[in-house]
Amino acid sequence: MRTIDGVPVPVPTPVSRPYWDALRQHRIEIQYSPSTDAWVFYPRILAPGSLADDLEWREIEGSGVLSTYTISTRPTAPPWKDVVPQYLAIVQWDQGPRICTELVDVEDPTALTVGMAVLPVFVDVGDDVTLLKYRPAV
């Protein structure tokens, strides 16, 4: 496990490296399968359902809707002891797949609602890792 300032950070694999490289450039790239006409996330070698080997990396805007969320008022693990509340969320991209993420820039937690529009926020951690988080669109 790799950490930056005591917080675990992702370690790219050969399959996921294009995703993480795009995030470092403040862009979002996910896989698309032309044979199934479907967007795919998390990164993998074969398209789910068909096992087609035609996955391509394509850029998306990253906008979406809040599919579900929880507000953690207690640290979820020791590395996040100073980060409360934590707004953990699943965002459904406009292109279809969902991503587990964290909400930031939440001014009024009571205004969070399932189905609300959210926008991507690129959070640079250290020199070589960028995390994808989301904020309310309004």
| 71-80 pLDDT tens trace | 999 999 998 8
Q: Low-confidence residues of the chain, pLDDT below 70?
A: none
Note the helical H segments in the chain. Answer: 17-24
Count: domains in the chain: 1
Determine the structural domain holding residue 22 and report its residue range.
Answer: 7-136
Residue 22, in any domain of the structure: yes
CB within 8 A of 7, min separation 6: which ones?
A: 79, 80, 125
Query: Is residue 2, in this structure, part of any structural domain at all?
Result: no
What pLDDT sits at residue 97? 96
Within-domain flag for 1: no
Nearest to 29 by CA among 44, 19, 43, 14: 19
134 and 91 Cβ atoms separated by less than 8 Å: yes
Domain assignment present for residue 23? The answer is: yes
